[in-house]
Chain A
Amino acid sequence: MSIEVLVDADWAVAHLADPKVVFVEVDEDTAAYDTNHIAGAIKINWRTDLQDGTRRDFVSKAGFEALLSKNGIANDDTIVLYGGNNNWFAAYAFWYFRLYGHQDVRLLDGGRKKWELDGRELVAEVPARAATTYVATEQDRTLRAFRDDVLNAIGTQNLVDVRSPDEYAGRLLAPAHLPQEASQVGGHIPTAANIPWSKAANEDGTFKSIDELKALYTGAGVDLGKDTIAYCRIGERSAHTWFVLHELLGVKNVKNYDGSWTEYGSLVGVPVALGDEPGNA
């Protein structure tokens, strides 16, 4: 059975009352959900629900099982993720659900922004779903890159830096909606191509067409036959690009490096490139 991983608002509206379709809003800013959300949607908090809280790592398999069970999500449910920030954190959650083996997970094209700009209904009522007994798989490490994977990829695999050109070059140390920080050096991983996540999306947050997306990456010199690692600052914008490459374009070996620049830019002794060019291995 082919599963359509990207759904539009009309599909969403037609499935709002389907008990086997669970809408999940994923935002770091939970105030957005608490104010209003798509009818029937539940909330997952990127920071408090999906991170370990002590170590810089994800919740364990048991923790993920407990999270989904508590929220009334069953293994055979269709999960539809959406959120703000042009679906950055929803795409991160999509990748995360895939890591732990959920089969039928989808993304609402355009996320919360398009829903709001189109004037669609949002409600304040929080649904109650009966608890389940969710069973996850072990993490699929073929989808997740760690720092040694990244170091070994320099000059040999595709490295795709999806941050803005100014972050890539080292002129900004954080996305420009945040105060500029000083904990990391600026720059990028040598040989990484700069293909900002935003080039894969339209102004309203929807994804560009498949033909446009293919042209975007191949036009930037990415050999889609090679292994690829995407990164950004903490791994949520690169989850957006991972979704494009792995789920929409069907590229086989694509990993998301969730350590991203906040880890790499703090490492001692690793190579860093400055400026607008990829640099040498």
Chain B
Amino acid sequence: MSSCGAVVGGVSLDRVDVATQAVIQGVVQKNGVPVKVGYVRLLDSGNEFTAEVPVSTAGEFRFFAAAGKWTVVALVPGGSARASVTAELGKIADIDVLVG
């Protein structure tokens, strides 16, 4: 049984066959600097919560979505921001989220 736990920064791609995944990843920045503490939520096209990960100490996050349009929302101490992204099977969609 695998866990449902969210790994800080998102699961590594080292053992993942990206060809079978629709990856969304990026970095959360505040005032131009990657945040060390924060959370990123993935919302579906209907704005429903789908997943959340804590960012890594370099502000990184990663999701494994389905193909389609998604929204990522960054929550950091003292602020939040959102960005839209389109995921495609077999590809990595990079999206940075800028707070403040």
Instruction: Determine whether B60 belongs to the interface, using a CB cutoff of 8 Å to chain A.
Output: no
Shortest A46–chain B CB gap in Å is 7
Q: Name the residue on A nearest B76 (C-beta).
A: A117
Instruction: Determine whether A236 belongs to the interface, using a CB cutoff of 8 Å to chain B.
Output: yes
Task: Say which size band chain A's interface belongs to.
Answer: 35 or more
How many angstroms from the CA of A117 to the CA of B44 in the assembled complex?
A: 24
Which residues of A lie under 8 Å from residue B42 when comparing CB positions?
176-177
Contact A86 B7 (CB under 8 A): no
Instruction: Determine whether A18 belongs to the interface, using a CB cutoff of 8 Å to chain B.
Output: no
Stretch touching chain A among B26-34, B51-59, B90-98: B51-59
How many angstroms from the CA of A236 to the CA of B76 in the assembled complex?
A: 25
Which residues of A lie under 8 Å from residue B21 when comparing CB positions?
179-180
How many angstroms from the CA of A106 to the CA of B48 in the assembled complex?
A: 28
Instruction: Determine whether A116 belongs to the interface, using a CB cutoff of 8 Å to chain B.
Output: yes
Contact B3 A164 (CB under 8 A): no
Shortest B79–chain A CB gap in Å is 10
Task: Say which size band chain B's interface belongs to.
Answer: 35 or more
Contact A177 B44 (CB under 8 A): no
Q: CB-defined interface of B50-93 with A at 8 Å, one 1/0 digit per residue?
A: 11111000000011111000000101110010000000000000
Beyond A119-B77, A174-B64, A179-B21, whether A196 also contacts B4 by CB under 8 A is no
How many angstroms from the CA of A240 to the CA of B20 in the assembled complex?
A: 31
Which residues of B lie under 8 Å from residue A4 when comparing CB positions?
none
The one of A117, A165, A172, A234 in contact with B3, judged by C-beta atoms closer than 8 angstroms, is A234
Shortest A173–chain B CB gap in Å is 9
Q: Name the residue on B nearest A47 (C-beta).
A: B3
Can you list 16 pairs linking A and B with CB atoms under 8 Å apart?
A27-B5, A28-B3, A117-B37, A117-B75, A165-B46, A166-B66, A175-B4, A176-B42, A176-B64, A177-B42, A177-B64, A178-B11, A179-B21, A181-B2, A199-B49, A234-B4
